[in-house]
Amino acid sequence: MIATLRADFQPQLVAHPALCSLLKRGRTYPVGAPGPLALARMIQGPAEAVGLGVEPALTEQLVREADREAGGLALLAAALQDTWLAAAGDETLRRSHYTEAVGGLEGVLTRRGERGLALLGEEGEAALPRVFGHLVHLDPETGAATRRRAPLRLWSEGSAEHRLIEIFSRDADRPEDAVRLLVCDARKGTPMVEVAHEALLREWPPG
């Protein structure tokens, strides 16, 4: 059996006697943050797999900005999606596309959040805490915020909260419409919603 565990949840595992016993008997393999070479492969590999080129200058800039950045992989994923949308059919992702659509990894999720609120109008500000209050868990001891799933049925169809979830979870054909900060799926037939990037809770803490 192979199990994965985030480092920040290890204290809870150790506090559970049965799980702690399993941990002592098994082998553990800590996985550190990817270095520059691995980041470059993460940028170029998926693009090449679908027939896209990546301008070397873009790879260099993204690696420089993402290296050792907290939540860097989530920021990188969001930035690459926005860059691809900005490329608008160009077979090569270029630094000019990235500069135009993203501007930099720092604040990319914040810009997506503000973009979503702008699409919603005034109702978005009021609905935001009523949605994210169910999607964020605060550790009572450390105050650390982690994401959690919630059933979509908590919010009635047609409500401002349901509209926020629709806007924040949808993909788009244009970078100015893309938000994709929430993910909707089904668990055992029950529609669920969760935060797509936990880095969002650090980059853009919803009030």
How many domains, in total, are found in the chain? 2
Quickly count: other Cβ atoms within 10 Å of residue 84's Cβ: 19
Q: Are residues 51 and 84 in the same domain?
A: yes
Share of the chain above pLDDT 70, in %: 96
192 domain residue, yes or no: yes
Q: Are residues 88 and 162 in the same domain?
A: no
15 domain residue, yes or no: no
Token readout for 75 is: 């920021």
Q: Note the pLDDT of residue 175.
A: 63
83 domain residue, yes or no: yes
Q: Residue 51: helix, strand or coil by DSSP?
A: coil
Pairing status of strand 190-195 against strand 182-187: antiparallel
Is residue 55 within 8 Å of residue 15, measured between CB atoms?
no
Distance CA 195, CA 121 (A): 21
Distance CA 178, CA 174 (A): 6
Q: Give me the domain span that covers residue 40.
A: 36-101
Write out pLDDT tens, residues 73-130: 888 998 998 899 889 889 999 999 999 888 888 878 888 888 899 989 888 889 999 9
What is the model's pTM? 0.74
9 domain residue, yes or no: no
Positions in the chain short of pLDDT 70:
8, 173-176, 205-207
First-residue to last-residue Cα distance in the chain: 41
Token readout for 66 is: 């993402």
Among residues 168, 183, 84, the alpha carbon closest in space to that of 127 is found at: 168
Q: Are residues 95 and 179 in the same domain?
A: no
Distance CA 158, CA 181 (A): 20
Q: Is residue 106 within a helix (H) or strand (E), and if so which, with residue range?
A: none
Q: Residue 161: helix, strand or coil by DSSP?
A: helix
